[in-house]
Amino acid sequence: MADLINLFIDDVAVSVPKGTLIVDAAKRADIDIPVFCYHPKLKPVGMCRMCLVQVGRVKLDRGTGQPVLDANGSPEIAYGPKLETSCTTPVEPGMRVITNTDLVKRAQKDVLEFLLTSHPLDCPICDKGGECPLQNLTLTYGPGVTRFDYADKQHLDKHYPLGELIFLDKERCIQCARCIRFQDEIADDHVLGFYERGRKMQIETMSTPGFDSKFSGNTTDICPVGALTTRDFRFRARPWEITNVPSICPHCPVGCNISLGTRRSAKGGGEWEILRVMPRQNEAVNEIWICDKGRFGHHYARSQARLQKPLIKKEGRLVEATWEEAFSLIADRFRAANGKAAGWLGDRVSNEDAWLFGKLFREGFNSAQLVNRPHVAGLDLVARYGVGVGTNLGNLGQGDVVFIVAGDVEETAPVHMLRLKAAVERGAKLIVANARETKMDRYAAISIQYQPGMDTQTVYSLLASVSNQQSAISSQVAKFAPSDNKIKAAGQLIAEAQNLIVMLGDERPYPVMVQGQYTDAGRALAQACANLVVATGHIGKANNGLLPLWPHNNTQGVYDMLSAQGAEALSGEVKALYLVGTDPIGEGQNLPPTDFVVVQELFLTPTAQQADVVLPALAWAERDGTFTNAERRVQRYYKALPPTGQAKADWEIFRLIAEKFGLKWSFFSAEGVMHEIAAQVAAYAGLDYVCLAETKEEWPPVGTSSDLYFGGTAYDNRGGVGAQTKSLFEINGRSELKWIEPPPPSGQSIEPRRLNRPGTLIDQSAIYEVRLRAAELVKIEA
Amino acid sequence: MLTEIFKGLSITLRELFKPPVTIQYPEIKRPVRQRFRGRHELRRYADGLERCIGCALCAAACPADAIYVEPAENTDAERYSPGERYAKTYEINMLRCIFCGYCEDACPTDAIVLTDVYELAADKRRDLIYTKDMLILPPPSGKPGTPQQVAEGSYPRSILPEGLVSEP
Ligand code: SF4
Ligand code: SF4
Ligand code: SF4
Ligand code: SF4
Ligand code: FES
C-alpha cells in the first residue's frame, strides 16, 4: 500500500491509494456520491454530471511551490469556482471534498430534473422498477416537482430489438453510455454506438446480426435504467417478487457465480420457474459478469422433455417403471456382472455425485473401471501443477505472463477472456499460440501461429528458448531450439515473468477409444505444458501453474473424485455398463460391447434410447451440490426448484442402489457426502458446506443490498465465494519432468469447441436457438 | 317480585308492536354505505381495452398477499391494454383479502376497484380464488372485448387520457 493519499471528504479523513477517483474514495468512507454514467468497472467519462461535488485544493505559492499557510499554520484551501465531477477527478493530498452543501444538492436536483424531462413515467411497467438507480437517486436526491411540460416529453421507440436477445426502450435511455462502454472496454465487441444527438440521442447496434456479442446480457445489468431488457425476463415479474437462489453456472469451467431468480408462475403451469439468471459478485471468479450462454441456457431445467419416471426396456421398448423395479433389475444385473462392470461419468455432475458413483462401483459393483467423459488428456497434470491457491486473474498485472496454447478462451471460458483482457491492460503480457487466429490474439504481446498439429513442438521451442539449464529433459528439449524470433521473444518474456499461467487449450487431438482403451492423443501437449511450468519453477504459487480450458463445468471435480478412488480405464470385458449424464451415441461414438446398459439422464438422449434401464436425474437447479472449476475452486450451488416428476438427485440414486447391495451408507444430503470427500481426498481436506458458504466483502461494492448506485441490480453474494483446493504439488511438493516425444501432426480433423454449439442442454433454450444457428462451426486439423 | 315480572313483560309487549330493526336477508338487502369495500372488479376503458397494465403494484401494496399478477407484452395484433404491458394472469384470493382497499389506492390506472358486492360465500376454497375472467367487467356495449387488433402504433402509452382524470 505505497503511495497513500490523505484527504478529507465531508470532514472525514480518508486515505486511499494514489490515482483513486474521488467517488471511490468517498465510497471507502461510506459516503455515497450519486452517479449514473460512472461504473467502477468502466473508465470514467463524466457524461451525466450527477456526481458533482465541491473540491478544495491546497493553495500553492506560485513562487516557491510550497503550500500557503493560514494564520494557524495549516495549509490554505482554495475551492474551485465551479463544481467538479467526482468520477473523473483523482484525489490529491490535502484535498477537501464537500458532497452535501446546498450548491451540490441543487446541482443534483437539476441534473435529475433534466434527466427526467425526457424520461417516461414508466416505473409501473418497467422491469427495472424496484431496483433502478434512477428511481433510487430521484427519491434520494431529486426534486419533488418538475418545471417541464409533460406534453413536451420525448417520444421514441419503446420496443426496439437490438438483437434477438436484448431489447431497447429508447425513451428510458439516459445516455450514460455504460452499455457502449461495456461492449468496447470490457467485452471488446464494438457493436453498440450512439446515433443522433441531443434529446434524440439513441443507442444503435452496429453489427449484423444485431448486438453480436457473447456478453450482451451484462449490459442489461449495468444499465442504470430499464432501457435494456432481455427477451427472457422482459415483462415476466417485478424484481421484488423474485426469490433469488445462489447457484453456479452449469456450462463452462469458469464456474461463474450466479443467482437464479425464481417464481411460481402461471405461465409455467403454477410451477416454480427460473425467470432470470443474474451474476452474483465474486471478484475472484467472474466479478460481476456472465456470458449469454450462462444467462439464457437455464431452460433445460424446466423443459417439457425431461424424463419423469424410470424406464425399463421390455420387448424392445422403454416403458415406465417404478424406482423399485429399476433398482432391483440394476442390482441383479450388476451382481451377475460380477466385477465386470464399467461406469462412464459425464463431467457435468456434482462432486458429490461423482464421489458416490465411484464408491458404488468400489463397494457395490466391485469394479474400478470408471471413465470420465469427455475424456481429455492432462487432468492428472492439472491436478498436480494447476494454478496455486490464491490465484485470481483479477490480480495479474505488470510482470505477469499468461501463455495460451491451442485454445480459444472466448469460446471455451468466455469470462476468462474478459478478465485476461483487463489483465493485459494492467500490464500483464499474453502469449498466444494456436493453429488459427482467435480473439485472444488481439491482446497478445506475441502471437504464434503454428502449423496444424505442431502445438507440442511449439511449446518445446518456447521452453528451449527459456532455459538452458540442465534438466531431465533438456537434451530432448534442445532439439526444438527455435529459429523463429517470435518464439525467442516469447521465451524471453517467460524467462522474465514473475508469475506464469499456462492455459492448456483443447484444440488438440481427442483421445478415442480403441478396444476399450483410450488413446493418448493430446497427452503430449499437456505434458509439454506441465514441463514448461515445472522447468521454469512456476508451480505451487498463486497465479502460477496450469489453467486448463476444460470442456464443461466440473471436468476437474469429476476427475478428482474418480481418481481419488483408484479409477482405471476399461481393462477387460464389460458385462454391465452404467452411464451418467453423458451421451456417447449422440456424439457419434459407440458403446463398448456389453449385455446391460443403464443410463441416468435428464433427457431421452440417443444413448438413453439404447439403454435397458433409464433413470431420471434432477437438474442442477433442482438440488444442491458443488462444482470444481478449472482453477480448482470448489463452489456450492443451492436448490432453486422443486423436482421434475419422480426424478432424484444422482447421489441419492447411487445410495439407493447401494442399499440393494446391503451397503448402509449414511448420506442423507449432499452435504454429508462432502464430509466424506473432505475426509478422504487430500486436496478437499477441510472443506464443508459451511466454509463454502462464507462470503466476504468485495470491492467495488457493486449493487449489493446496501448500494444501489453502481449497479442498481443486485449482485449480492449470499451463497459463498467457494474455496480453492490445493494442487498436489502444494500438498506433497513433488514435481517431475517427463518426456513424451511430440507426435507428428495426426491430420485428425477436429472441431474446436464453440460456446454456442448445439447440445443436449442448450438446445432446450428456445430463445437461444438463433445464436446456436448463427455460430459458424470451424474445423481444423490437429 | 311480581311487579318486576310485569315490568319486564311490558317491555316485551311494547317492542312487539314496533317495526323490527333486523331485515329479512337475503330476501331484503340493506343498502351499503357509499364507501363500502366489497368484491373487486377490474375495469375497462370506453373503447373496451383493459385498464390494468399488469404492474403488480396492487400485489405489492396488498398486506394480505392476496393478489397474484403475471404480466405479458401487448402487440398491436393482440392488444389487451394500452401500452406495452398487460396482466395475463390476475388472481385475487378472496379468502385472504381483508378488503382494505390498498390495492385500489396503489393502482396507477384505476383498474382495480372495490365494489359493494359482499356476497362472496362459496363451498370450495378454489372457487374463492377469483381469476381475471371473473374480475374483469364486460366491455361497454357495442365495444369489442380483448384482445383487440388495432392499428400499428395507436396505443404507445400505458394509460389513456381518460385514465388520468380521477373520477368520484
Ligand atoms: S441503454 Fe442504458 S446503459 Fe445504455 S446508454 Fe442508455 S441508459 Fe445507459
Ligand atoms: S462463462 Fe461459462 S460459467 Fe460463466 S456464465 Fe458463461 S457459460 Fe457460465
Ligand atoms: S383489498 Fe386489501 S387485502 Fe384485499 S386484495 Fe386489495 S390490498 Fe389485498
Ligand atoms: S390492477 Fe392496477 S395496480 Fe394491479 S396490476 Fe393492474 S394496473 Fe397494476
Ligand atoms: S459524470 Fe460522474 S457519474 Fe456521470
B85 touches chain A (CB under 8 A): yes
> What is the structure's pLDDT at A706?
66
Distance CA A649, CA A672 (A): 14
Q: For residue A158, list chain B residues with Cβ-Cβ distance below 8 A.
A: 84, 156
| Burial class of residue A220 in the structure, from the number of CB atoms within 10 Å of its CB (0-12 exposed, 13-18 middle, 19+ buried) | buried
Q: Is the peptide bond before A374 cis (omega within 30 degrees of 0)?
A: yes
Does the beta carbon of A47 sit less than 6 angstroms from any atom of ligand 1? no
The distance from CA A150 to its chain's CA centroid, rounded to whole angstroms, is 45
Does residue A188 or residue A751 have the better pLDDT?
Answer: A188
Q: Any chain A CB within 8 A of the CB of B105?
A: no
Query: What pLDDT score does B124 carry?
Result: 95
Per-residue pLDDT of A393-437, as tens digits, reads 999 999 999 999 999 999 999 999 999 999 999 999 999 999 999
Alpha-helix residue ranges (DSSP H) falling in A142-267: 178-181, 217-222
Half-sphere exposure of A316 (CA within 13 A, CB side): 0
What global pTM score does this model have? 0.95
Ligand 4 centroid to residue A639 C-alpha, Å? 32
Provide the pLDDT for residue A703. 76
Kindly state the cell numbers that stand for A495: 524467462
H or E stretch at B70: strand B67-73
Contact A305, A647 (CB under 8 A): no
Question: What pLDDT, on a 0 to 100 scale, did the predictor assign at position A782?
Answer: 66
Task: Return d(Cα A247, Cα A620) in angstroms, integer.
Answer: 9
* R_g (Cα) of chain A, nearest Å: 28
* Cα A5 from Cα A252, distance rounded (Å): 41
Chain A contact present for B83, CB below 8 A: yes
Residue with cell 463431467: A347
> Which residues, 6 or more positions from A431, have their beta carbon under 8 angstroms from its beta carbon?
A401, A402, A403, A404, A444, A445, A446, A447, A448, A462, A490, A493, A494
Query: pLDDT by residue (tens digit) across A439-484?
Result: 999 999 999 999 999 999 999 999 999 976 788 899 999 999 988 9
The yes-or-no verdict on residue A1 having pLDDT over 90 is no
- How far apart (Å, rounded) are the C-alpha atoms in residues A350 and A328? 25
Check A266 against B88: CB less than 8 A apart: yes
- CA dist., res. A769 & res. A753, Å (int): 17
**Which ligand 5 atom lies nearest to the CA of residue A46?**
1
Which positions ≥6 away from B86 have C-beta within 8 Å? B50, B52, B53, B54, B71, B72, B73, B74, B80
Cβ atoms < 10 Å from Cβ of A75: 16
A119 Cα: distance to centroid of ligand 4 (angstroms): 21
Q: Which of A290, A348, A412, A420 to mutate to test the pocket of ligand 2 (most atoms within 8 A of CB)?
A: A290
Per-residue CA distances from A307 to A603, A611, A616, B152 (Å): 5, 14, 5, 43
**What is the average per-residue pLDDT within A690-716?**
81
Q: Which of B52, B62, B103 to mutate to test the pocket of ligand 4 (most atoms within 8 A of CB)?
A: B52
Degrees to nearest 5, angle at CA B47 with B42 and B50: 25
Using one digit for the tens of pLDDT, what is the confidence trace for A181-229? 999 999 999 999 999 988 889 999 999 899 999 999 999 999 999 999 9
Tell which residue, A731, A711, A346, A380, has the closest CA to residue A552: A346
Going by their DSSP bridges, the two strands A192-195 and A202-205 should be labelled as: antiparallel
- Any chain B CB within 8 A of the CB of A236? yes
Q: What does DSSP say about strands A596-601 and A576-580: parallel, antiparallel, or unpaired? A: parallel
Residue B92 pLDDT level (bands cut at 50, 70, 90) = very high
Rounded distance, CA A248 to CA A258, Å? 5
- Beta strands A341-346 and A369-373 are parallel
CA distances from A289 to A48, A192, A244, A415, A752 (A): 24, 18, 17, 7, 24
Q: Read off the C-alpha cell for A458.
A: 511449439
Phi, psi for residue A564 in degrees, rounded to 5? -65, -15
Candidates A191, A225, A230: which one to mutate for ligand 1, based on the most atoms within 8 Å of Cβ?
A225
pLDDT tens-place string over residues A100-118: 999 999 999 999 999 999 8
Q: Residue A656, Cβ neighbours under 10 Å: how many?
A: 17
Ligand 3: distance of its center to the CA of B133 in Å?
A: 18
Tens of pLDDT, residue by residue over A486-513, are 999 999 999 999 999 999 999 998 888 8
Statement: residue A550 has pLDDT above 90: yes
**Single-letter amino acid code for the residue at A723:** A
Name the residue at shortest CA distance from atom 1 of ligand 5. A46
Question: Residues A700-716: what's their mean pLDDT?
Answer: 74
List CB contacts of A197: < 8 A, sequence separation 6 or more: none
Q: Report pLDDT for A373.
A: 87
3-class SS letters over A476-518: HHHCCCCCCHHHHHHHHHHHHCCEEEEEECCCCCCCCEECCEE
Condensed to tens digits (0 to 9), the pLDDT of residues A260-294 reads: 999 999 888 889 999 999 999 999 999 999 999 99
Decide if A157 touches B, using CB distance below 8 A: no
Find, in chain A, the residue whose alpha carbon is nearest to that of B109.
Answer: A124
Spell out the residues 6+ positions from residue A568 whose beta carbon is closer than 8 angstroms to its own: A368, A369, A370
Going by CA atoms, what residue is nearest to atom 3 of ligand 1? A223
Ligand 3 contact, B159 CB (< 6 A) = no
Q: What is the pLDDT of residues A77-98, one digit of tens each?
A: 999 999 999 999 999 999 999 9
Instruction: Answer whether A509's CB lies under 8 Å from A782's CB.
Output: yes
Q: Is A134 in the pocket of ligand 1 (CB under 6 A)?
A: no
What is the nearest CA distance from A168 to chain B, expressed in angstroms?
13
State the Cα–Cα distance between residues A334 and B143, nearest whole angstrom.
Answer: 70
Interface membership of A241 toward B (CB under 8 Å): yes
Name the pLDDT band for B20 (thresholds 50, 70, 90).
Answer: confident
pLDDT at A159: 94
The owner of cell 433398482 is A327
Q: Residue A692 corresponds to which cell in the numbers above?
A: 463454502
Average pLDDT across chain B, whole number: 94
Nearest to A124 among B70, B72, B108 (CB): B108
Task: Inform me whether the C-beta atom of residue A119 falls under 8 Å from chain B C-beta atoms.
Answer: no
Residues 6 or more apart in contact with residue A605 via CB below 8 angstroms: A583, A585, A586, A599, A760
* Residue closest by Cα to atom 6 of ligand 1: A173
Q: Is A240 on the interface with B (CB under 8 A)?
A: yes
Determine the distance from the C-alpha atom of residue B132 to the mean position of all C-alpha atoms in its chain, rounded to a whole number. 11
Q: Which domains are assigned to chain A?
A: 4-100 (3.10.20.740), 133-230 (3.30.70.20), 311-375+555-714 (3.40.50.740), 380-549 (3.40.228.10)
- Helix A133-141 / helix A102-118 crossing angle, nearest 10 deg: 140
Complex confidence, ipTM = 0.90
Residue A776's pLDDT band (cuts 50, 70, 90):
low
Where does residue A324 rank: exposed (0-12), middle (13-18), buried (19+ CB within 10 A)? exposed
Residue A43 cell numbers, joined = 473508465
Buried b (16+ CB within 10 A) or exposed e, A721-754: bbbbbbbbbbeeeebebeebebbebeebebebbb
pLDDT tens string A637-672: 999 999 999 999 999 999 999 999 999 999 999 999
Residue A143: what residue type?
Answer: P
Pairing of strands A613-616, A625-628: unpaired
Provide the mean pLDDT of chain A.
93
Q: A508-528 pLDDT, tens per residue?
A: 988 888 877 788 889 999 999
CA distance linking residue A126 with residue A227, whole number of Å? 9
Q: Which amino acid is at A571?
A: S
> What per-residue confidence (pLDDT) applies to A375?
85
For residues A646, A651, A656, A659, the Cα torsion angle rounded to the nearest 10 degrees is: 180
The CA distance from A491 to A466, in Å, is: 5
Q: What is the pLDDT of residues A295-325, one digit of tens each?
A: 999 999 999 999 999 999 999 999 999 999 9
Task: Kindly state the cell numbers that stand for B139.
Answer: 366491455
pLDDT score, position A778: 66
Residue of B53, B70, B73 with shortest CB distance to A266: B70
Cell 499557510 appears where?
Answer: A69
List CB contacts (< 8 A) between A235 and chain B.
Answer: 54, 71-73, 84-85
For A319-356, what is each residue's pLDDT tens digit? Answer: 999 999 999 999 999 999 999 999 999 999 999 999 99
Q: Which of B85, B89, B156 sits opposite A235 (nearest CB)?
A: B85
CA dihedral defined by A751, A757, A762, A765, rounded to 10 degrees?
-170
The answer to whether A501 and A402 are in contact (CB under 8 A) is yes
Q: What is the pLDDT of residue A334?
A: 97
Interchain contact A124–B (C-beta under 8 A): yes
CA A375/CA A552 separation, integer angstroms: 11
How many angstroms does the Cα of residue A178 sit away from the middle of ligand 1? 6
Backbone angles phi, psi at A41, to 5 degrees: -90, -5
**Cell 451525466 maps to which residue?**
A48
| Chosen from B69, B70, B112 to mutate, greatest number of chain A CBs within 10 A | B70
Amino acid at the residue A205: T
What distances in angstroms separate CA A243 from CA A246, A265, A298, A303, A721, one per listed residue? 10, 12, 16, 20, 20
Residue B168 above 80 pLDDT?
no
